[in-house]
Amino acid sequence: MNTRQLRDMFLSVAHKVVESEDFLTEIDLKIGDGDHGFGMALGFKAVKTALEGKDFPTVEALFQEVGMTLLDTMGGASGVLFGTMFISGVAKQEPHEEADLALLAGIFRRALEALKRRGKARVGDKTMVDAFEPAAAGLEEGAAKGVSLKEGLALCADGAKKGMEYTRECVARFGRAKSYGTKAIGLQDAGATSVWIIFQAMSDWASE
Ligand code: ADP
Ligand code: MG
Ligand code: MG
């Protein structure tokens, strides 16, 4: 996949996230403060503007642009967390003009580890990490098996979906949801839902 295709994939992700604003708001209203949909939509509308009609020399420059835009526009804790999801995997990396499954797996694995260091959340804490971890594992599995980009992204999206569903079983250890204790059981985490939307949009784009 060249940088134009990667840009189009991220534009498709931005479109899906913006479209999901009300859905995300609804989820965050149940065990949070209800601002997650607004924040994500704000960030990804800005991503659309930042990417539309522009060419990027490298995969790394593109990831950097998406992450910096989210960081700048979303603000707050989740701006840092979703900015990290795109920035931290490409920092100090050799530039690439093409992305394959192995490259994407490496980028998102490094980003996930940075996110875990920064936010201190682990799998089972009912956060976006619960969806991100199996999504990254799906990319790694696909890369190890040598499957196509389309198949690898499908494994990734399936992982994210299972992780998002798993958050329903968990008690939150971070954010406002923490104060709900066991009352949060049965309800899914908003950030994990966003992570699933992002990876599902990537998979859908590759399947078209
Ligand atoms: P806020 O909680 O500040 O209102 P959002 O509603 O935009 O921000 O985002 C909340 C989401 O952020 C949660 O659903 C969770 O997935 C994620 N999150 C919160 N704290 C952490 C953390 N320490 N590590 C990882 N993810 C976190
Ligand atoms: Mg919130
Ligand atoms: Mg808030």
Over the stretch 151-197, which tens digit does the pLDDT of each residue have? 999 999 999 999 999 999 999 999 888 999 999 999 999 999 999 99
To the question of pTM greater than 0.80 for the whole model, the response is yes
Instruction: Tell me the pLDDT tens digit for each residue of 114-130.
Output: 999 999 999 999 999 99
Q: How far is the CA of 184 from the centre of ligand 2 (A)?
A: 14
The band of 76, judged by pLDDT with boundaries at 50, 70 and 90, is confident
Q: Please tell me the residue having the least CA distance from ligand 1 atom 13.
A: 191
Q: Please tell me the residue having the least CA distance from ligand 1 atom 27.
A: 127
**Cβ neighbours for 92, distance < 8 A, ≥ 6 positions apart:** none
- Phi, then psi, of 173 in degrees rounded to 5: -115, 5
Which has the closest alpha carbon to 198: 144, 140, 153, 145?
A: 153
The DSSP call for residue 98 is B
User: In this predicted complex, what is the ipTM?
Assistant: 0.98
Looking from the CA of residue 191, the nearest atom of ligand 1 is 16
Q: Which CATH architecture has domain 3-207?
A: Alpha Horseshoe (1.25)
Report the distance separating Cα 57 and Cα 66, nearest Å: 14
Q: Where are the domains of the chain?
A: 3-207
What residues does ligand 1 touch, defined as CB less than 6 Å away?
28, 32-33, 35-36, 39, 76-78, 81, 119-121, 127-129, 174-176, 189-192
Q: How far is the CA of 149 from the centre of ligand 3 (A)?
A: 35
Side-chain half-sphere of 128: how many Cα atoms within 13 Å? 29
Contact in structure between 82 and 74 (CB atoms under 8 Å):
yes
